[in-house]
Each structure stands twice: as structure tokens, then as C-alpha cells.
Amino acid sequence: MRLAVAAALLALPALGAPAAVERASVTTAGGPRAYLIARPTSRAPGPRPLVLVLHGHGGSAEQALGVDGNPSPLAVWREIAERDGLVVAALEGADGRDGKRGWNDCRADAPGNPATDDVAFARAVVARLEREDGVDPSRVYVIGMSNGGFMALRLAIQLDPPPAAVAAVSSSMAADTVCGPPRRPVPVMLVSGTADPIVPYAGGEVRLLGKKRGSSVAIEDAAAAWRRVDRIAGRPTSVGLPHLGGADDPTRAVRTIWGDDPRGLQVELVRVDGGGHIEPSISQPYGRLYQAVVGRQNHDLECAEEAWRFFRDKRAAVPGS
């Protein structure tokens, strides 16, 4: 497995030192909200893309970007920011009724979620970074993990102007929703494991350590819903990714893309056969104890790099632009 992982790392775009991280906050109607921002050392002329990163239930912005010494695979966004000149903002969730940090996503039946207006929070961060950092309003992207992925899909439905593209990892759309169905076209990428013990691939009840966390639609039904609103017809392109994890990794990743134009409307599904509630990663493996709880981690792709490949050529229509 070590040789396979080393070969995979060489195949990835070269990563250097991660972008430095600063703490910041914005004031919303519900009070101050915190976030972390990673900016590249050098600045190319012109507006820069922005990626919003949303941690999972019980997580933190610090953990998502690797500031607390226990990084998730989403921390790779700091290296991408430095390498490709983008701004990354990891938003901090609010304390929910269960005492855990999280997001007020679209699930009406998730009793532990906070009641905060997280769409307004995201909008305030984007507006500030447009003013102060010159980010491109047509190149705002969102990626979230678990509860953060559900929230990313809420932003695809409700953020105004809409994101240029969204990625939801180990998450789906709410079955009992306060948001309604998607009504406007947004490119969406879903990354999910077929053996996810928390957000079932086939849909149904979401459970975390035995506690009910609402319900979700099947992953492939969520992909179909976005294909309908994006008006994508025709057959998809589907390919099994090279297996890089070696004999210790029984999972396999399959990438399916609907829509031929990487600059236009697309829906991508990365199905991880045998994968759990966990971000695929080559460079950031989780330990066995963690995987015993959430399921197997796939090592055939770097989740952040896959999302950036999906995001980077897409642009949103911005009024007045």
C-alpha cells in the first residue's frame, strides 16, 4: 500500500507549503459568526476564486483546515490555495440543540441542528471577501462534509447569487425538507460511500452513534434531482478510478459525470464502493480506530483535488456582470 500511495502522490499536482490561515468574523442578524481564511502568499492580478469549506457535525473550521493538528482531508484546500491562487474560507458552525457545532441545513427532522440563518452567514462572508479581497463573485464554490455537505446543498438552493458549483461529501439532500426541491441550475458533485453507516447511500434515516439525525434521499436520487433542474440529458461518462490504496484498501471509486462541458452544467457522482462516512484521500489517511466507527476510507483520489477539478472552469451568472 505504501508504494501505491507514494505513486499516487507523485501523480497529483505538485503541492507546496499550505496557505497561512487567519481568524476573522462577520456580524449577522443572529450575532457575530467566525470563520478562518487562507490566502495565497502571492497575488495574481485580477479577481480570485473563493471556496467555502463547511465542516461536519461536531467538527470545526480549525479541524477542517488542519489548524488544530488533526486535519481532515479538506485541509488540502490550503495547499491548493497556495498553488493555484485562490481564497479559501472555512466557516464555523453554530452550537446546536445537542451541544455540537453544526449547520441549519434543509432537514426538518434533524432535532440537533442549530436554528441559525447559515445562508445569511455565508452570504455575509462572500460579500465581505468580495469587498476586501477582490474575490470573483462568479467564482464562488462550496464544499461540505456530512452536515456541512447537506448545508452546501442548501446554499446551492438558496444562496443568492448562487454558487458557481457545489460539492457534497458523505451527504445528500433532505428527505423531509424545509427548502423545497432545487429550482435553479447549479453544477453539483456528490461523493458518497455505499457502506456509509451514518448517511445511507440508499437513503433513509441518518444516524450518528445511535442518535437520529433526520432523513435523506438516496444518493443517486439526489444526483437525478440535480440533473433534472440542470436539464442534463444523455448518457453519462463513467470510469473506475485506478486503485491506489493497495491490498489494505478494499474500497473502489467510480466517477460518473453527466454533462460534457467542464465549463457548463454538470452533475458528478463519485461512488465509493465499500466506502464509509469519510472523505477519500491519498495524502490524509484516517486511523483505524476512526474508520472502525465511520467506515472505510478510500485512497483512489484526493477529495479536495477532485472537487477543484470539478469547480475550476465553472462560472456563475452574476447580475450586472
Number of domains in the chain: 1
Q: How many CA atoms, within 13 angstroms, populate the side-chain half-sphere of residue 31?
A: 5
Q: Is residue 72 part of a domain?
A: yes
CA distances from 21 to 58, 71, 78, 137, 231 (A): 21, 13, 8, 22, 39
State which amino acid sits at residue 84: D
Q: Is residue 321 part of a domain?
A: no
- pLDDT surpasses 50 at 10: no
> What domain range includes position 112?
2-311
Determine the Cα–Cα distance for residues 37 and 125; give it in Å rounded to an integer: 10
Q: Is residue 316 part of a domain?
A: no
Return the C-alpha cell found at 178: 424545509
pLDDT tens digits, residue range 70-118?
A: 778 999 999 999 999 999 999 999 999 889 999 999 999 998 899 999 9
Calculate Rg over the CA atoms of the chain: 18
Residue in the block written with cell 477582490? 134
Percent of the chain whose predicted confidence (pLDDT) is above 70: 94
User: pLDDT class for 230, splitting at 50, 70, 90?
Assistant: very high
pTM greater than the 0.85 cutoff: yes
Q: Is residue 219 part of a domain?
A: yes
pLDDT tens digits, residue range 175-197?
A: 999 999 999 999 999 999 999 99
Q: Is residue 318 part of a domain?
A: no
User: pLDDT class for 44, splitting at 50, 70, 90?
Assistant: confident
Nearest by Cα to 66 from 94, 51, 85, 88: 88
- Say which DSSP state 74 is in: G
Give the three-state DSSP class for 302: coil
- pLDDT surpasses 50 at 1: no
Q: Is residue 279 part of a domain?
A: yes
Q: Is residue 132 part of a domain?
A: yes
User: How far out from the chain centre does Cα 136 lie?
Assistant: 19
Q: What is the mean pLDDT of residues 276-298?
A: 95
Q: Is residue 133 part of a domain?
A: yes
CATH number at 300 reads 3.40.50.1820
User: pLDDT class for 14, splitting at 50, 70, 90?
Assistant: low
